[in-house]
Structure formats: structure tokens, C-alpha cells
């Protein structure tokens, strides 16, 4: 069994200026709300601001605005800078709810728009008598908005996963359908032969991403691109994507690569880790908002067994994708 040389962590890609490098309308709304919130805190809750400053870790603010509490660091946690221990974070409970924390703003805004308009439509339709030709389209629109709202809530779910144990196991980095298993003669990052596994995420799948092994982050690279249907193999080459290069923290220190690829609907890639950060197997590191593709590239070694099969439905952090020979 080969043992791979330890790779040095590389500086963060300078094009990555937040955990969501592609930006987005909801992100802009949340940042605008943050500006108003900071004004309120500095004006009316000065003691809270002072207390949070005492608990704050870090010597440099790398966010483009003031950081008064953990909410202000949300989009910039991958840059280093200010942070708080979990015990000092009054909003740490948000990590425990069954929804992806980076998607809470979208969840709240889109749910309000869909369920809110559905509620208004229901009230209007029940408040007055309507002719059949007007009532039927009204109820159909109300039902459609309700279904869309339910799908949005379902989309941003983040269920707890039981992670299989074993340094020789590679777990799925995403939920979805396994659509490709390709052997590669030589992968530049792996440094030799590799296996590339493609997973398609529909709008009905959980969209968080997890690490395939216990690992250290070596490099994070972001590529702008198109938004082809993520089912098309060429989408991996031309679509917007983020590549997370990692290396196992235990011998034989296998290098692996996880690609988050945007799709026709999914246009918001999120990755909140930073170079040299250590992650557990199956640990959350990001998400792709609304339908997408995730690729996993692993070393192709003698004795490697690809456990998952084409067409399989896989679950991030839970499904075993591949198994290497166990070391004594």
C-alpha cells in the first residue's frame, strides 16, 4: 500500500471572498439586514456588544464590515478573522436545528413568500363568493404556492447522519443518485491513477456536502462558469464549481478531491472551511443550493473496492462509496 507525501496547505484562492463566492440576492438581503442590526446593537445594546467583544477570538477582522457577534462572521468564516467558541456563541443552537444553517435566510424568505401568499389567497377565496371560473384558478395557484413552500422547506433540511467508522472507508460526500464511475490514468492532484465518482442531486435531495474521510484541507479553488443541467457529464468541466482538495489525517494520508458543481437551478455554492482546517469523516463542510452535482476523486490503488454502483441512491456521510484494504 503506498503512503502519500504530506502536502502543504495552500493559501485560499483570492477569488473566494466569502463562503458563497457566487454571491446571490438573498445573501445581499441578509447583509443589508446585518447592517441595520449592527446599528441597533451599537445604539441600544452597548453592553451586549462589549460582552461579545470580550469573548471574541482572533486578532484581525477579515470581513468587509464590523463583526459584533457570530452572525456577522457567517459569510466570512472561511477567511479566518474573528470567531467565537461554541459555548460563547448565543446562536450556536442554529447548528442543532434540522435545517442547513447557511440556507436559513433562503428558507425564511422563500417560505414567507410562498406560504404567505398562499395564506392571503386562501383568505381572499374564502372571504368572498367567487364565480367558478375565477375560484378554480385561484385555488390552483394557492395549492401550487403551498407545494412550492413545502419543497423549499424539504430542500433545506439537514438530517443527522450516523457516520461509518474506519480509516479504510470512503463515505459519500453528498446525497443523490450515482451517475458516473470513471477510472482516470493520472490525476494531477492525486499524483497517479484515480477513480472519479459523480453524484447528481435533484431538488428533492439533501443538499449539504460532507467530507469522505477524516482529512485536512489542502486547497480550495473556485471557478466561474456556466449553468448546464447537472445531469450532463460536460457540466463538470464548464459549470461554476468549487474544488476542495483534502488529504487524510491518518496513514497512508490519501489525497482526495471533492467538487461542488452548480446546475441549471443550483447557482449558489457554499463552502465554509479554510485551508489547513482538519475535518472528521462525514463532517459538514458546505452545501449547494437547489439541484446540482458533486464529484469525488479518490486514489485508484490495488485492492480498492468500489462498493456503490451506478444508479444507487446514496446519502452523504452515511453511504460507503469505496473500501480500501485495511492496514494491520
Residue 152: φ, ψ to 5°: -65, -45
Residue partners of 157: CB distance under 8 A and separation at least 6: 98, 99, 100, 206
**Contact present, 173 and 199 (Cβ < 8 Å):** yes
Give the 3-state secondary structure percentages of the chain, helix then strand then coil, rounded to 5: 30, 25, 40
CA atoms of 307 and 205, how far apart (whole Å): 21
Q: DSSP labels for 135-171?
A: HHHHHHHHHHHHHHHHHHHHHTB-----PPP-TTEEE
CA atoms of 228 and 255, how far apart (whole Å): 28
Q: DSSP labels for 92-121?
A: GGGGTSSB-GGGHHHHHHHHHHHHHHHHHH
Residue 107: φ, ψ to 5°: -60, -45
Task: With H, G, I as helix, E, B as strand and everything else as coil, classify residue 189.
Answer: coil
Q: What angle do the packed helices 46-55 and 25-44 form, to 10 degrees?
A: 110
The three cell numbers of residue 17 are: 471572498
Longest Cα pair distance anywhere in the chain, in angstroms?
77
Residues designated as active site: 292
Q: Taking Cα atoms as reference points, which of 171, 231, 174 lies closest to residue 208?
A: 174
Amino acid at each position: 500500500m503506498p503512503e502519500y507525501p504530506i502536502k502543504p496547505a495552500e493559501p485560499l484562492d483570492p477569488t473566494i471572498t466569502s463562503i458563497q463566492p457566487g454571491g446571490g440576492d438573498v445573501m445581499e438581503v441578509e447583509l443589508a439586514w446585518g447592517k441595520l442590526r449592527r446599528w441597533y446593537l451599537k445604539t441600544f445594546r452597548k453592553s451586549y456588544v462589549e460582552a461579545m467583544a470580550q469573548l471574541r477570538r482572533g486578532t484581525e477582522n477579515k470581513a468587509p464590515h464590523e463583526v459584533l457577534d457570530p452572525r456577522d462572521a457567517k459569510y466570512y468564516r472561511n477567511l479566518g478573522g474573528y470567531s467565537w467558541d461554541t459555548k460563547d456563541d448565543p446562536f450556536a443552537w442554529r447548528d442543532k436545528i434540522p435545517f442547513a444553517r447557511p440556507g436559513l435566510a433562503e428558507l425564511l424568505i422563500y417560505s414567507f413568500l410562498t406560504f404567505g401568499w398562499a395564506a392571503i389567497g386562501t383568505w381572499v377565496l374564502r372571504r368572498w363568493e367567487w364565480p367558478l371560473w375565477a375560484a378554480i384558478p385561484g385555488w390552483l395557484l394557492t395549492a401550487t404556492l403551498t407545494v412550492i413552500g413545502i419543497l423549499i422547506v424539504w430542500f433545506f433540511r439537514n438530517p443527522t447522519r450516523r457516520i461509518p467508522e474506519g480509516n479504510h472507508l470512503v463515505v459519500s460526500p453528498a446525497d443523490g443518485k450515482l451517475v458516473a464511475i470513471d477510472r482516470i490514468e493520472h490525476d494531477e492532484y492525486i499524483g497517479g491513477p484515480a477513480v472519479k465518482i459523480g453524484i447528481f442531486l435533484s431538488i428533492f435531495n439533501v443538499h449539504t456536502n460532507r467530507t469522505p474521510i477524516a482529512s485536512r484541507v489542502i486547497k480550495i479553488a473556485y471557478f466561474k462558469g456556466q449553468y448546464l443541467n447537472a445531469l450532463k457529464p460536460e457540466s463538470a468541466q464548464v459549470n461554476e464549481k468549487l474544488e476542495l482538495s483534502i488529504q487524510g489525517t491518518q496513514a497512508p494520508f490519501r489525497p482526495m478531491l471533492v467538487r461542488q458543481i452548480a446546475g441549471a437551478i443550483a447557482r449558489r455554492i457554499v463552502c465554509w472551511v479554510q485551508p489547513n482546517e482538519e475535518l472528521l469523516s462525514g463532517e459538514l463542510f458546505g452545501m449547494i443550493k437547489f439541484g446540482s452535482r458533486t464529484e469525488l476523486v479518490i486514489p485508484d490503488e490495488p485492492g480498492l473496492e468500489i462498493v456503490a454502483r451506478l444508479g444507487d441512491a446514496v446519502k452523504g456521510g452515511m453511504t460507503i462509496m469505496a473500501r480500501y484494504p485495511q492496514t494491520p
